[in-house]
Amino acid sequence: MAPQIFLLIFASLLLSIPTSISTPPPRICVIGSGITGSSLAHFIKHYTCSSQARTQCLNDIHVFERRGHPGGRMATVTIGGDVFEAGASIIHPKNLHALHFASLLNLPHKPKPASGDDDSWFGIWNGEKFIFKTLPPPPPSSSALYRKLYSLLNSLLIFKRYGFSLLKMNAFVKGMLEKFLGYYKGLESRPVFATVEEMLQWSKLYELTQQTLQEALQKTGLSAQLISELVTVITRINYGQSVSISGLAGAVSLAGSDDGLWSVEGGNWRIAAGLLNHSDVNLYLNEEIISVSYTEGSYSLKSKAGNDHNCEITVIATPLDELNISFTPPVSIPSRRLQHTFTTFVRGLINPKFFGLKSASEVPDLVGTIERPDIPFSCISVLKKYTNEEKTYKMFSRAPATDDLLDQMFSGIKETIRIDWPAYPHYEAPEVFAPIILDRRHLYYINSFENAASAIETGAVAAENVARLIISRLLHSDAQTIRTHTNDLESLHIDL
Ligand SMILES: Cc1cc2nc3c(=O)[nH]c(=O)nc-3n(C[C@H](O)[C@H](O)[C@H](O)COP(=O)(O)OP(=O)(O)OC[C@H]3O[C@@H](n4cnc5c(N)ncnc54)[C@H](O)[C@@H]3O)c2cc1C
């Protein structure tokens, strides 16, 4: 019997098991306070401690974070007194977990910029010239009718260049989103998955991880021009990579250019901070874990600061690829390269000469680029206009932006902030996935799912599955796999 089917049947059998609590719940250690660590804590508490749950409440959760604040790759920077997203900045309207978290935590959605001040003025730069530009935005004082007309004309311009291929691209993204919605199905009809492969096969998304985006789009009949221009621009913006990323990461990336995208006022990191607070976990900031050793039913976590923490269950909620955590006994995961995205914020004014133009007002607010090795950046966008001579820009590049480059690209620079993000996996189809259960006991790795696609929502979906997996496995754990609670855990009742 396939493991996920077993777990589904197992979970439904539990509905008839009565609750009894006589020993303390197992302690759960979580390494990482980003969206995966914080949503794991939320789902564990939600499934076992909410008023409807008839289970032993798993409320002994300890989250370790090496930085001085929670959120991980959801982080902000402040420039000229304004707060901007530095990492994960946009959330799709169909990301139901993120929507639910924002509503649960009363986090307001950031209002959209006033029309004419957004990034709808868009151009594609090929290193020598703009091969495509939408129309410059209408003045803020223009009428609603004028704006509608402007938006219609822009749609016509895009359609003129890429034709019916655009409809095929939209259908491709819609197909992926519909399959992804399976992960929100009711718990009775959605198995608990022990591997990423099973999780993706169940939703029929696995195949997309075994081919490149380019292959997947060619099969759906997209034109070569659309793939090498608009699609490439979007994958370079969202994953800093070309159309040779996997079809699934590519589809997620393309969904990031849909309408209705949103973010949290004050920063998306507030979702992680809010979930940790709401779940009432023990949060240890500035506590970097350097080793995880298993002996006699318990994991001992050592921190750089010299502290020891002991837990029956340990969850890794961060990519392991560039970390030096030592595991005893050792764990084995496929090697994976992370794509570094260099994010540079500049307060100043773009230099039109860099783009062969006369005036900065001719440079679109969002400049995307095609694949050409001599183009030194992936994209640049205006985040805020202070005056016609002073704006704040965000630039993504695959290599650090040197002072020399910034001097060529900008004038009157007042402030610069640089971040080197180990941003997301370097996607290479066919993708291989690390195990979720790293040691056949209770050492779990949520970020094995990141090889499917890296995003706030995919992190939450992966964490929800790991939360259910932990609960389900505790229920049939034996003395060898976990020290405590054999009888009590068997009597847990979960509304899964
Ligand atoms: C520039 C950029 C733009 C992005 N844009 C978007 C976007 O627009 N929309 C979107 O949905 N996604 C976007 N993403 C992807 C998204 O940010 C990630 O997929 C998601 O935030 C990953 O969350 P996580 O919790 O798995 O990992 P992380 O957020 O990386 O959290 C892991 C945490 O673990 C901590 N940690 C690591 N090692 C240790 C240790 N040894 N001990 C203790 N703590 C440790 C880290 O400090 C970190 O806080 C973007 C990412 C980047 C970098």
Q: Is 36 in the pocket of ligand 1 (CB under 6 A)?
A: yes
Looking only at the bridges linking them, the beta strands covering 282-284 and 289-295 are unpaired
Query: In terms of domains, do 440 and 483 share one?
Result: yes
Do 469 and 192 contact (CB within 8 A), yes or no?
yes
Query: In terms of domains, do 314 and 412 share one?
Result: no
Query: In terms of domains, do 17 and 47 share one?
Result: yes
Query: In terms of domains, do 96 and 115 share one?
Result: no
In a domain, 94, yes or no: yes
Query: In terms of domains, do 344 and 198 share one?
Result: no
Q: Which of 365, 391, 425 is the last residue of a domain?
A: 425
Do 124 and 230 contact (CB within 8 A), yes or no?
yes
Q: Is 66 in the pocket of ligand 1 (CB under 6 A)?
A: yes
For the range 478-487, what are the long-range contacts, defined as Cβ-Cβ under 8 Å and sequence gap of 24 or more? 481/440, 481/441, 481/442, 482/26, 482/297, 482/312, 482/313, 482/441, 482/442, 483/296, 483/297, 483/298, 483/312, 484/23, 484/24, 484/26, 484/297, 484/312, 485/23, 485/25, 485/26, 485/56, 487/20, 487/22
Orientation of helix 35-49 relative to helix 456-475, angle to 10°: 40
* Distances from the Cα of 20 to the Cα of 50, 57, 487, 490, angstroms: 16, 11, 9, 9
Q: What sign results for the dihedral spanned by CA atoms 46, 51, 55, 58?
A: positive
- DSSP SS3 for 143: coil
* Atom 2 (ligand 1) nearest CA: 87
Q: For the domain that residue 128 is a member of, what is the CATH number?
A: 3.30.9
In a domain, 221, yes or no: yes
* Atom 25 (ligand 1) nearest CA: 34
Domain that holds residue 376: 111-145+338-425
pLDDT of residue 475: 82
For ligand 1, pick from 36, 318, 436 the residue to mutate: most ligand atoms within 8 Å of CB: 318
Query: In terms of domains, do 189 and 285 share one?
Result: yes
For 165, half-sphere exposure in the C-beta direction (CA atoms, 13 angstrom radius) is 19
pLDDT of residue 8: 46
Per-residue model confidence as pLDDT tens for the chain (496 residues): 444 444 444 344 333 333 443 479 999 999 999 999 999 999 999 999 988 887 889 999 999 999 999 999 999 999 989 999 999 999 999 999 999 999 999 999 997 654 444 447 999 999 999 999 999 988 888 888 888 899 899 999 999 999 999 999 999 999 999 999 999 999 999 999 999 999 999 999 999 999 999 999 999 999 999 999 999 999 999 999 999 999 999 999 999 888 889 999 999 999 999 999 999 999 999 999 999 999 999 999 999 999 999 999 999 999 999 999 999 999 999 999 999 999 999 999 999 999 999 999 999 999 999 999 999 999 999 999 999 999 999 999 999 999 999 999 999 999 999 999 999 999 999 999 999 999 999 999 999 999 999 999 999 999 999 999 999 999 876 333 333 222 333 333 333 3
Alpha helices in 240-352 (DSSP H): 247-255, 269-278
Q: Is 288 in the pocket of ligand 1 (CB under 6 A)?
A: yes
For residues 110 and 476, what is the distance between their CA atoms, to the nearest angstrom? Answer: 44
Q: Is 73 in the pocket of ligand 1 (CB under 6 A)?
A: yes
Q: Is 10 in the pocket of ligand 1 (CB under 6 A)?
A: no
In a domain, 150, yes or no: no
For residues 76 and 435, what is the distance between their CA atoms, to the nearest angstrom? Answer: 32
Q: Is 455 in the pocket of ligand 1 (CB under 6 A)?
A: yes
Query: In terms of domains, do 440 and 409 share one?
Result: no
- The neighbouring-strand residues paired with 314 are 29, 443
Q: Which of 379, 396, 425 is the last residue of a domain?
A: 425
Domain total for the chain? Answer: 2
Q: Is 342 in the pocket of ligand 1 (CB under 6 A)?
A: no
Query: In terms of domains, do 377 and 485 share one?
Result: no
pLDDT of residue 112: 65
In a domain, 151, yes or no: no
In a domain, 276, yes or no: yes
Query: In terms of domains, do 322 and 225 share one?
Result: yes
DSSP string, 383-424: EEEEETTEEEEEEEESS---HHHHHHHEEEEEEEEEEEEEEE
pTM of the model: 0.92
In a domain, 264, yes or no: yes
Query: In terms of domains, do 36 and 91 share one?
Result: yes
In a domain, 51, yes or no: yes
Backbone angles phi, psi at 384, to 5 degrees: -155, 140
Query: In terms of domains, do 286 and 414 share one?
Result: no
- Lookup result for tokens 């396939």: 2
Select from 355, 496, 492 the least CA-distant residue to 18: 492
Q: What is the distance in A from the centroid of ligand 1 to the CA of 392? A: 24
In a domain, 154, yes or no: no
Query: In terms of domains, do 99 and 203 share one?
Result: yes
Q: What is the distance in A from the centroid of ligand 1 to the CA of 417? A: 19
Q: What sign results for the dihedral spanned by CA atoms 351, 352, 354, 358?
A: negative
Do 343 and 419 contact (CB within 8 A), yes or no?
yes
Q: Which of 425, 447, 474 is the last residue of a domain?
A: 425
Q: For the domain that residue 56 is a member of, what is the CATH number?
A: 3.50.50.60
pLDDT of residue 23: 79
For residues 349 and 343, what is the distance between their CA atoms, to the nearest angstrom? Answer: 17
